[in-house]
Amino acid sequence: MKILIVHNQLWAHYKAIIFNELQKIIAPQKDNELLVVQIATIEKSRVDLGSLDTSIHQYPYQLLHEGTLEEVGLWQKISGIHGAIIKFKPDVVNLTGYYDLASWAILLYCKLKGIKTILSNESTAGDHARDKFKETIKSFIIKQFDGYFNFGTLSKNYLLELGAKASKMLVNRNCVDNVALKNIYDKYRLNREPKQQVLGIASHNFIFVGRLIDYKNLFNFLEAFAEAQKQITTDWGVIILGDGEQKEDLRQFVQTKQIKYVSFQRGVSWQQVPEYLALSDVLVLPSYSEPWGLVVNEAMACGMPVLVSEKCGCAIDLVKNGVNGYTFSPYEKDEIKTILLKFMSQTQNLQEMGKASQQIIQEYSPENVAKEMYAGYLAVL
């Protein structure tokens, strides 16, 4: 069995660890072979998050463009992927996404040549406002695939709504490198208080990690935190870890509203994220829309409670209300405030919730996802 995976960017470390585990399964088996076609080195939005570490990619790959994904033209994508298929002669092609003409062209080619296809789907029904005409076209395209790898239950349910068959749902989870993240977190947790003092942050903190853009819903979250502060005397603060177009507006908002103990930190690479999680107590992801939300995996792997918007793809799978955190409507500021107050008033056991997070996230490991993917490739063949 020869497997060809098309992936958008080589930079994505969280995919590298899955591909590495998949290669470990495939390599010892006779007549089995893997190739990952990486379209570009990185997306523009991630250029400032650290340089590319090629050493983490321990699987066979081909890079089509040494630059950003946005620089790659339609024909360059189609010809590059098509050329790789002709040379590699795969039995199954795993495409990432269905949203551009390059995917459509490769899907059509595979159908004509009798090559099985699997769709890796990140979308959920709540991602965007849905247009009926576009959904009809999308439904037709999706039905052409032989199997589906989904980012969780909401992702799977969306494809089912579009007419995909339940029997073709082959993978329904997403993961990070749980072990590596926990090791880094434990190292920096030992030096927590001195680092907090150096950075001038509170002794207890909620933390947001990600791009500072509109759909992350940070203004609503910060206003809820400000209102919670008025109701209780506490040393809880907020760490905002990341960069983006809203950063200066958010700073001004905090200053105008006189919200205390809010610390803005620059965006960092994934290896450095646990350093800041170690300075915090609870992760918050208040997004209006999120295909999955891998930062939730990261925080749970480090043993932290998580507060996650119900619009995030991972919420239904990873968050058990009252056990390892809470879900909430991103539009309901009072609901967010009430949940924040549960922690700020010390009515929640952070340690027990953190242990629950670690237990839940063990199932979402690179090894388990790779095993499910391999079984999926076998199933469509």
pLDDT tens per residue across span 236-280: 999 999 999 999 999 999 999 999 999 999 999 888 999 999 999
- The predicted pLDDT at position 241 comes to 97
Euclidean distance between CA atoms 184 and 167, whole angstroms: 39
- Per-residue pLDDT for 51 more than 80? no
- Per-residue pLDDT for 177 more than 80? yes
Q: How many helices (H) and strands (E) does the chain have?
A: 15, 13
Model confidence pLDDT, tens digit, residues 350-379: 999 999 999 999 999 999 999 999 999 999
Euclidean distance between CA atoms 285 and 204, whole angstroms: 17
Query: What is the pLDDT averaged over residues 111-132?
Result: 87
Euclidean distance between CA atoms 131 and 111, whole angstroms: 27
Please, which pLDDT band fits residue 74 given cuts at 50, 70 and 90?
very high
Euclidean distance between CA atoms 129 and 340, whole angstroms: 29
Residue with tokens 């063990």: 362
DSSP 362: T
- The predicted pLDDT at position 155 comes to 93
- The predicted pLDDT at position 92 comes to 98
Please, which pLDDT band fits residue 89 given cuts at 50, 70 and 90?
very high
Euclidean distance between CA atoms 43 and 262, whole angstroms: 29
Contact status, residue 325 vs residue 352, Cβ threshold 8 Å: no
Please, which pLDDT band fits residue 50 given cuts at 50, 70 and 90?
low
DSSP 166: G
The pTM of this model reads 0.92
Give the chain's domains with CATH numbers.
2-175+365-380 (3.40.50.2000), 178-361 (3.40.50.2000)
